[in-house]
Every structure is written in C-alpha cells, then in structure tokens.
Amino acid sequence: MIEVGPSRKLEKVFLAGLYGSDTSAWEIEQSMEELASLARAAGATVAGSEVQKRPAPDPGSFFGRGKVEQLAARAQEAGALALVVDQDLTPAQIRNLEESLGIKVIDRTEVILDIFAARAHTREAKLQVELAQYEYLLPRLTRMWSHLSRTGGGIGTRGPGETQLETDRRTVRTRISALKRQLLSVERHRHLIRERRRSSFRVSLVGYTNAGKSTIMNRLTRSALPAADQPFMTLDPTTRRLHLGPGLAALLTDTVGFVDRLPHHLVAAFHSTLEEVAEADLLLVIVDAAAPGVDRRVNVVTATLEEIGAAHVDRITVLNKIDRVREGIRPLEERYGPNALAVSARTGTGIPALVDLVRARAASMAQPAASPPTAAV
Ligand SMILES: Nc1nc2c(ncn2[C@@H]2O[C@H](COP(=O)(O)OP(=O)(O)OP(=O)(O)O)[C@@H](O)[C@H]2O)c(=O)[nH]1
Ligand SMILES: [Mg+2]
C-alpha cells in the first residue's frame, strides 16, 4: 500500500552535501546549517555531517566513490538511521546510496515535504501537501519496488514487483486526480472569500522562513499566532484586520515562508495560497536582519515572488530583529534603499513607523470602501 503523510518520524540522521568547486566555505556552512535546521524541524536529531566539493555529482552514486565509503563509516559510527542530503537526488542515486550505506537516504525536497506534512492543519493545507507528496513520489515508485523485482534478473526481465509497480502507479495517479478535484472545490471557497476582501486594502507578510512574519503580525494585530525559532511554523494563511485610524483599515495576511530551493511540487500545490500574495495591494517583505547571509535570503525571496507572479506588487522591505544586529543597521538600510525600514518585532522598535507607512499606502489607494464594517476575515 502506498501511503504518504506525516506519520514518518525521522530519528538520528547524518547530513551530507555536495557543492561545486567554486562554492565558498562560508556558503557551504550556511547551506549545511540550514539543512540541519530543516532536519530538526522534521523531527530528526543530527548526528554529524560531511561535505564534498566536486565539479558535478556522480550520475550513479551522487557523491564520489571515496566519499560514499567515508559516509558509510561515519554514519554507522554515529548510529545514524538515515542520510539527509542537501541536494535533490535522482531515484537511481537514492537507490545506489541506500545500497552502499545500508540506511535510508532522504533528499532535500523530501525533508521539506516531511515538515510540511507534519505542520499542515487546515483541510486545504493537508490536501496541498498530500498532492505535492504524491507528485514527488510518482517517478520514485521504481525505487520502492526495484529491490523486489531484482530477483527477476537483469534488465528486460519482468520481476514479480513489476506488476505491483504498475498497480501502484495507477493508485497514485488516481489519488493525484482526486486530490486535485478536492482542492478545486476548497479553492472555490477561498476565491469567494477573496472576492469579498477585494474592496479592502490587502497587505501580505512575505519573506524567508523564520524571518519573524508571524511575530510582526501578532504585534500589529494583537494576535497570538504560533511563532517559534523553527522553519515553516506557518503553513496556513491567516488574515486579520489592522486598524489604521478613523475609517481606515487594512487586511493583513500572514502566510507560508519561503526557503532556498523551495520544492516546485510545493509551489505548484500551494498556488492558491500564493495567489493571495500576488493579489495583495502591498507586500511587507520581512527580512531577518540578524541572520547570516541576509542578501542570499533576500535574493531567494525576490526570485520566489517572481515565480509566483507577485513581482509587480508594491513592497516595503522590513529589516526585522534589529535588536540582534550588533554592527548597526545602517549598511543594510543603505543596501536595501529608501524603501527599507528597520524594526524589532520583539522590542517594538520601528513598529509605529511601519504602521505609518502602511497607513500612508492605504490612504493613497483612496478607496472609500477601505474599511467595510467588520468584514469576515
Ligand atoms: N530577537 C528577535 N527575535 C525575533 C524578532 N522577531 C521574531 N523573532 C523570533 O524569530 C523566530 C521566528 O519568528 P516567526 O514569527 O515564527 O517567524 P516567521 O517568519 O513567521 O517564520 P515561519 O512561519 O516559520 O516561516 C521566533 O523565535 C521569534 O521569537 C525580533 O524582532 N527580534
Ligand atoms: Mg510564521
């Protein structure tokens, strides 16, 4: 039986990454640290890590032969039950690595899918994640059955697993169609709500995961949305009313965060959630100004906004967590231009100025209907 879902619990894992020869030590460290935080968010404990620099991955085993041996020894020594790789692997590479290492091999997309599966609460998010999981699984079904069909011999012979594989493919395709149908009906409902909100000034909080979007939302709207030092705390969008003064209000939406190399199946499955971002009147791009690699994260956010068709939306860059920026915010403000504002959602610094900016934008929309009486949000 083919099943996806949040049931899998990653335990002790070993991390590995492969990078081009020109990748700097610092970039590698950032990437591996992010992988560790993704693995932990998926419920794993990290038992160690290894990286390899190589002009290109080995088509068969991804890592070079010597590195595979080293990984096998180190993962075993650490008592790891799985290897988590910072890149995406082909089904054949996963199969070969699993054979060489004797433990499960999980690629970056799979880790992110696991976190999403565990965090999805609403019916829509659950359907979206399940769809992304099945789309990811479909071309990988061979991997699951190859060890069963191997008894049938070499290439061209039909093993007992092969008919099972065909059945499973059909099952997964049927499930994908059913999920798409169910999502369509949920999306229709979302469209109706969106239509109702069209007359309001709509602001979306966007940004790299863990930048502090929900914390800012909580501060601005006196809400208590879950916020924590973990990637992808928020999956389900939440909309709250932000009072801006007499007769003036905005609808503020907190939504799923972005990450470097966000799996395309997830972007596709979350398209209706992300459409909301593209339809906003204003984006507050929340940046963790204290995180290492701020510019890289900002570039990822800019690219993701383009990918989801939101590049045209007016935006304000909000440099958050300035309470933790020791070297001062000036260099960042200079880099991000006059349209950037430094705040701390934790201490409240800069928040009144942020509200002022949003108010000015909302007022300039000059919509008399900007503040409907207690709109359903
Ligand atoms: N020091 C400091 N920490 C902050 C600030 N704003 C948020 N945080 C912390 O940063 C972490 C992430 O905050 P969230 O609000 O959950 O971030 P998010 O962008 O909603 O993250 P996801 O929903 O996971 O994508 C939490 O531990 C917050 O307490 C700030 O201004 N200063
Ligand atoms: Mg959040």
pTM comes to 0.89
The protein residues having their C-beta less than 5 angstroms from ligand 2 (an ion) are 213-214, 233-234
Q: How far apart are CA 27 and CA 284, in angstroms?
A: 27
Residue 346 in tokens: 């934790």
Condensed to tens digits (0 to 9), the pLDDT of residues 124-163 reads 999 999 999 999 999 888 755 444 443 333 334 445 555 7
Side-chain-side CA neighbours of residue 136 (13 Å): 27
Closest among 20, 22, 13 to 84, alpha carbons compared: 13
Q: Give me ligand 2 centre to Cα 138, in Å.
A: 30
Residue 64 in tokens: 């070079």
Q: pLDDT at position 331, please?
A: 85
Give the closest residue (by CA) to ligand 1 atom 30.
321
Q: Which atom of ligand 1 is nearest to the CA of 227?
A: 16
Torsion of CA 102, 134, 154, 150, to 10 degrees: 50
Other CB atoms within 10 Å distance of the CB of residue 284: 27
Q: Give me ligand 2 centre to Cα 221, in Å.
A: 14
The CATH number of the domain covering residues in 12-118: 3.40.50.11060
* Mutation probe of ligand 1 site: the residue of 210, 225, 297, 323 with most atoms within 8 A of C-beta: 210
Condensed to tens digits (0 to 9), the pLDDT of residues 284-343 reads 999 999 998 899 999 999 999 999 999 999 999 999 999 999 887 888 888 888 779 999
Q: How far apart are CA 79 and CA 73, in angstroms?
A: 10
In the chain, where are the structural domains located?
A: 12-118, 122-181, 199-370
Do 242 and 358 form a contact (C-beta atoms < 8 A)? Answer: yes
Q: How far apart are CA 131 and CA 177, in angstroms?
A: 9
* Mutation probe of ligand 1 site: the residue of 214, 240, 347 with most atoms within 8 A of C-beta: 214
Phi and psi at residue 31, to the nearest 5°: -65, -40
Do 139 and 116 form a contact (C-beta atoms < 8 A)? Answer: no
Contact residues of ligand 1, CB 6 A cut-off: 207, 209-215, 227-229, 231-234, 257, 320-321, 323-324, 344-346
pLDDT of 6 higher than 70: no
CATH superfamily, domain at 199-370: P-loop containing nucleotide triphosphate hydrolases (3.40.50.300)
Condensed to tens digits (0 to 9), the pLDDT of residues 264-281 reads 889 988 888 898 899 999
Q: Which bound ligand lies closest to the C-alpha atom of 258?
A: 1
Q: Give me ligand 2 centre to Cα 69, in Å.
A: 40
Condensed to tens digits (0 to 9), the pLDDT of residues 183-204 reads 999 988 888 888 888 889 999 9
Mean pLDDT value across the chain = 88
**With pLDDT > 90 as the criterion, what percentage of the chain qualifies?**
70
> Where residue 123 falls among pLDDT bands split at 50, 70, 90?
very high
Q: pLDDT at position 149, please?
A: 42
Judge whether 12-118 and 199-370 match in fold: yes
